[in-house]
């Protein structure tokens, strides 16, 4: 599952989790990969310096974000450090889930799925969609960004409208939460049906 910044992926992910899905949150995996003394942490400190750290030695993601979202080359370097480490953690977690539940439906919440061209690793792509103007409004309200900062964050990602053609399912998350939940419920039934067909074919 993917989307754009402030599209509401986390909210939709929790809805799927409530239905019985196993959720793997790539933002959380990013935090784990960047934990002090991990290989990705060391590479970040080596490249960006100790200015990227808080006093307790953890990565200051807010400060680092301001650096990389103002410089595409530095963003590319950061992604090249973090993404391989995150996908290694994902594979490990996925294997653990499959050992416990051979019929598990696993939702991976991945902000930059399409940007990193990793679609081939997944059975289906779900896009959580809101228009770009709504993303900006939510960033300004939720994260207290200036409008210029919000637009800069959006500019660093693929425009969300361009992601629609890459998705198997699109969840429009602009309206009331009840409407989004109804769409998730219907899609969950479809995922269960697909899993049943796959199980019979094994």
Q: Which of 104, 120, 147 represents a domain boundary (last residue)?
A: 104
- The DSSP secondary-structure symbol of 120 reads G
| Residue 136 sits in the same domain as residue 188 | yes
SS (H, E, C) 44-70: HHHHHCHHHECCCCCECHHHHHHHHCC
Q: What's the domain range around 196?
A: 1-21+106-202
pTM: 0.87
| Residue 161 sits in the same domain as residue 89 | no
| Residue 111 sits in the same domain as residue 83 | no
79, with CB counted inside 10 A (0-12, 13-18, 19+), is middle
Residue 41 near residue 56 (C-beta atoms within 8 A): no
Both tokens assigned to 42: 């060391």
Residue 23 near residue 13 (C-beta atoms within 8 A): yes
| Model confidence at 168: pLDDT above 90 | yes
Which phi-psi region, left, alpha or beta, contains residue 110 (left: φ > 0; alpha: ψ -120 to 50)? beta
How big is the chain, counted in residues? 202
CB proximity list for 69: less than 8 A, separation 6 or greater? 75, 152, 153, 156
| Residue 159 sits in the same domain as residue 178 | yes
Q: Which residue has the tokens 């998350």?
A: 173
Q: Which of 104, 132, 150 represents a domain boundary (last residue)?
A: 104
Distance of alpha carbon 198 from alpha carbon 202, whole angstroms: 6
| Residue 137 sits in the same domain as residue 199 | yes
| Residue 57 sits in the same domain as residue 129 | no
| Residue 87 sits in the same domain as residue 114 | no
Q: Which of 86, 104, 122 represents a domain boundary (last residue)?
A: 104
Distance of alpha carbon 162 from alpha carbon 22, whole angstroms: 28
| Residue 97 sits in the same domain as residue 113 | no
- The DSSP secondary-structure symbol of 102 reads T
| Residue 68 sits in the same domain as residue 159 | no
- CATH code of the domain covering residue 92: 3.40.50.300
Domains contained in the chain, number? 2
Residue 192 near residue 105 (C-beta atoms within 8 A): yes
The pLDDT tens digits for 99-156 are 999 999 999 999 889 988 999 999 999 999 999 999 999 999 998 899 999 998 888 8
| Residue 67 sits in the same domain as residue 85 | yes
Distance of alpha carbon 35 from alpha carbon 155, whole angstroms: 28
| Residue 33 sits in the same domain as residue 83 | yes
Distance of alpha carbon 74 from alpha carbon 43, whole angstroms: 13
Q: What are phi and psi of 84, to 5 degrees?
A: -60, -40
| Model confidence at 173: pLDDT above 90 | yes
| Residue 88 sits in the same domain as residue 153 | no
The pLDDT tens digits for 43-97 are 999 999 988 899 999 999 989 988 898 898 999 999 999 999 999 999 999 999 9
């Amino acid at each position: 599952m993917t989307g754009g910044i402030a599209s509401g992926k986390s909210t939709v992910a929790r809805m799927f989790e409530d239905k019985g899905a196993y959720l793997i949150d790539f933002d959380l995996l990013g935090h784990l990969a960047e934990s002090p003394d991990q290989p990705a942490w060391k590479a970040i400190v080596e490249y960006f310096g100790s200015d990227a750290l808080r006093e307790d030695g953890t990565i200051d993601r807010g400060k680092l974000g301001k650096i990389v979202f103002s410089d595409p080359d530095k963003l590319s370097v950061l992604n090249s450090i973090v993404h391989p480490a995150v996908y290694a953690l994902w594979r490990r977690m996925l294997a653990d889930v499959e050992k416990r539940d051979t019929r598990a439906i696993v939702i991976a919440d991945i902000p930059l799925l399409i940007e990193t061209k990793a679609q081939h690793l997944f059975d289906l792509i779900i896009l959580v969609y809101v228009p770009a103007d709504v993303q900006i409004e939510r960033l300004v309200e939720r994260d207290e960004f200036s409008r210029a900062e919000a637009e800069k964050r959006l500019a660093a990602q693929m425009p969300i409208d361009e992601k629609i053609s890459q998705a198997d399912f699109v969840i429009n998350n602009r309206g009331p939460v009840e409407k989004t939940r109804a769409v998730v419920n219907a899609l969950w039934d479809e995922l269960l049906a697909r899993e049943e067909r796959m199980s019979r074919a094994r």
